[in-house]
Amino acid sequence: MLDPRLLRSDPDQLQQGLAKRGISLDLASLQSLDEKRRHWQQEMERLQSERNAQAKKIGKAKAAGEDVAPLLAAVSDLGDRLDAAKASAAEAQDAFQDTWLGLPNIPQSDVPAGENESENVEIRRWGTPKTFDFDVEDHVTLGERDARHGMAMDFAAATKLTGSRFVVMRGQMARLHRALIQFMLDEHTLQHGYEEVYVPYMVNDDSLMGTGQLPKFSEDLFKLEGEKPYYLIPTAEVPVTNLLRGEIVAAEQLPIQYACHTPCFRSEAGSHGRDTRGMIRQHQFEKVELVQFVHPKKSDEALVSLTQHAENILQKLELPYRVMQLCGGDMGASAARTIDLEVWLPSQECYREISSCSNFEDYQARRMQARWRNPETGKPELLHTLNGSGLAIGRTLVALLENGQQADGRVVLPEVLRPYLGGQIEL
């Protein structure tokens, strides 16, 4: 969450920063909530101080053998007034906190303003989209040709088992999916210096609160029924980032870099009718996620390196892509800056997102109280957190099928994957 002191120290920065996201902040209402919260906090502290002073006074009078009845009468309602002040303070704090926690991060100063993806800014491109001398087919048509080439992407079976926006993969398709996961993990751990972690696929409210999915985006989550309020993870970012929730790490431990493969579960609320065909937008999909915890002064350069780590995967897979700077209105709520990688899909003749790399600065760390100890002051300070997909497995699979397709229906695989497939060069 944002630093609450910003509301009093620089309300214009707060208002103007959120305007980049297309949010019109009711500053007067928010300031009123803050004033009420501080008023009742101060009143509660005043009454507590008064109670302590009166208790000492009564104790001294008793010790001196004096009549304490007048003193007791004077404070007879102090307990009730204190209880009332505590209740009002708690109510005012909850009202402010509910509103404050719902505010997104402030975009960095050079992030372009804008409402949606149409106002994102292209930074660069890598690779040249292939020109085909035959009619290009999409990944669904290619993947369902199990009778001809042994590929098996079965959406009908998944619908029978569960419902729409799921897939069953068999044979070579399942093996290719697994090979991509292994390849990405090896690259990030052996070449880029990340530590691989394995985490639960269910998390509690505190974890989702820490990374910013709660309370505002509960409709995007799958909540499990039962005694404990568990949620299926929407991304490995949630459990991995929360590994440092409530922790204080030494300066020499930084940067901390984790790579993690998990399934991800999203309700896709509000996306009805979008990408309903195939594997582009599903309720369950796989990702290899990259998470970094860094010194606050190094998070900008860390975002550059994290993005390069994700780009390296696309380059080794020989997939054309472009790099996009997201505008304020298209960024996730917790991000201060986001760089998207978009891979070329021949069937759609456009680039589609395959990785979002974000610098959250101290927004998540403040919610989680994830800190490092400054050796110069000896005091704990908030870390900066970053994350990005390295990459989304399903969309990578889609891109490989479509970019590697041949006129006779075969799919040629990039050389870097062949050792993970027993030397196989095509599907």
User: In the annotation, is 353 catalytic?
Assistant: yes
Residues 235, 237, 240, 244: is their CA dihedral positive or negative?
Answer: negative
CA 199 to mean position of chain CA atoms: 15
User: In the annotation, is 395 catalytic?
Assistant: yes
Cis peptide before 319 (omega within 30 of 0): no
Strand pairing class (371-373; 248-250):
parallel
User: In the annotation, is 266 catalytic?
Assistant: yes
Please pick, among 218, 353, 410, 418, the residue that the annotation labels catalytic.
Answer: 353
CA 423 to mean position of chain CA atoms: 37
C-alpha to C-alpha distances, 220 to 166, 264, 331, nearest whole angstrom:
16, 12, 16
Residues contacting residue 169 through CB under 8 Å, at least 6 positions apart: 152, 153, 154, 177
Please pick, among 281, 352, 373, 410, the residue that the annotation labels catalytic.
Answer: 281
Three-state DSSP state, 224: coil
Rounded Cα distance, 158 and 170, in Å: 12
DSSP annotation of 81 reads H
Three-state DSSP state, 271: coil
Three-state DSSP state, 242: helix
Binding site for ATP, by residue number, is 266-268, 353-356
The structure tokens listed for 139 are 């990944």
Reported for 210-213, long-range contacts at CB under 8 A and 24+ positions apart, including other chains, are 210/238, 210/241, 210/242, 210/245, 210/364, 210/367, 210/368, 211/237, 211/238, 211/241, 211/242, 211/334, 211/364, 211/367, 211/368, 212/1, 212/332, 212/333, 212/334, 212/363, 212/364, 212/367, 213/238
Please pick, among 21, 37, 366, 395, the residue that the annotation labels catalytic.
Answer: 395
Please pick, among 21, 37, 165, 266, the residue that the annotation labels catalytic.
Answer: 266
The total number of residues shown for the chain amounts to: 427
Binding site for L-serine, by residue number, is 235-237, 266, 289, 387, 389
| Residues with catalytic roles | 266, 281, 353, 356, 395
